[in-house]
Amino acid sequence: MRSKYILFALALTGALASCSDDDNNKKPVYNTPYSNPLTNYSAADPTVWKENDHSFYVYATNTSVIRKSTDLIHWTDGGKMFEKKPSFVTESGAAVWAPDIEKIGDKYILYYAMSAMGKPASAGIGIASADSPEGPFSLDISVDGKGKLFTSNEINVRNSIDPCFFEDNGQKWLVWGSFNGLYAVKLNADGTRVYPDLATAKKERVQVAGTAFEAPYIHKRGDYYYMFASVGSCCNSMLSTYTTVVGRSTSFLGPYVNKNGESMLDNKYEVLIRANDRFVGPGHNSEIVTDSEGNEWMLYHSYDRHTPSKGRYLMIDRIVWENDWPVIAGNSPSTEAEAPVCK
């Protein structure tokens, strides 16, 4: 349920409580209001890692800093993301985009894209590891020591960006792609290489969605696998048409379909988050993350019509499920809403 509290009231009261409140005599605060956007700086293409009920980390496009939070609402600068910048893409302006993080064994593995805007042929997927989600992440586990997992040419998928890790029945997979089809490829047991090798992976990669999509994220719930993705233009300020969409399947490799049974391979989908009179281009969602009461939340980015030149802010909204489909209230970003539960 959306709150009628306004931002001015938040400023007066200092309302939000921390999930790491050490006073055991205090009862948890429920339904405290928060306001989108969460940041006053760009934090595009966010991924989130939950270490415990009061330690959350966000990794985003084109930043060298990991953000951290105790409540999913207030974010501060943490450690450096990398010991040294990945360099396997040498195009001018190449940067790290759209990271995704997973813990495999005792290592935190960061998958990410490296690309230069407007140069999709040279893009690729990189990999790094750390002993803590706070980083910094080392490139030592990469194929070339410079960060590379594979390039677009090596895997034969143009514009190979936006990686998403997923494990299904013990098999590790990477799903990725941007407007040239979304694809899945097997990874080895420790998630550090395509399986069994690049030559085989190039032949055996599986297309799981059509050319309308980028930024895939797979979520398993009950009998269904859900593929979240984004359609439209991401990065053109108030002219951006980015929209968060979803389809579902009874199999990890699909087919993913909309409510009418139409396939994402044919560029069909259900809309999850669209623009409204305040926010433009809501997309590239994170993992679904739970608060201490099991409520589910999705981070994503959006432009704000109030400050169109400041980039894509970090946003959050609650996911609920209706008839085994994910729903965000109003199918658009909230301005004020009830916050994650803190204990």
Name the nearest CA neighbour of 34 among 13, 10, 56.
10
How far, rounded to the nearest angstrom, does the alpha carbon of residue 38 sit from its chain's CA centroid?
Answer: 15
Sign of CA dihedral 283, 42, 55, 65: positive
Q: Report the distance separating Cα 109 and Cα 144, nearest Å.
A: 16
Name the nearest CA neighbour of 38 among 341, 333, 342.
333
User: What DSSP element (H or E) covers 341?
Assistant: none
Considering 100, 214, 304, 317, which one is annotated as catalytic? 214
Sequence-distant (6+) residues with CB within 8 A of 8 are none
Considering 45, 53, 71, 100, which one is annotated as catalytic? 45
Counting every residue written for the chain, the total comes to 343
Name the nearest CA neighbour of 37 among 231, 294, 311.
311
Mark whether 322 is an active-site residue. no
Residue 333 neighbours by CB distance under 10 Å: 26
Mark whether 45 is an active-site residue. yes
Which amino acid is present at 204? E
Which amino acid is present at 251? S
Catalytic site residues? 45, 214
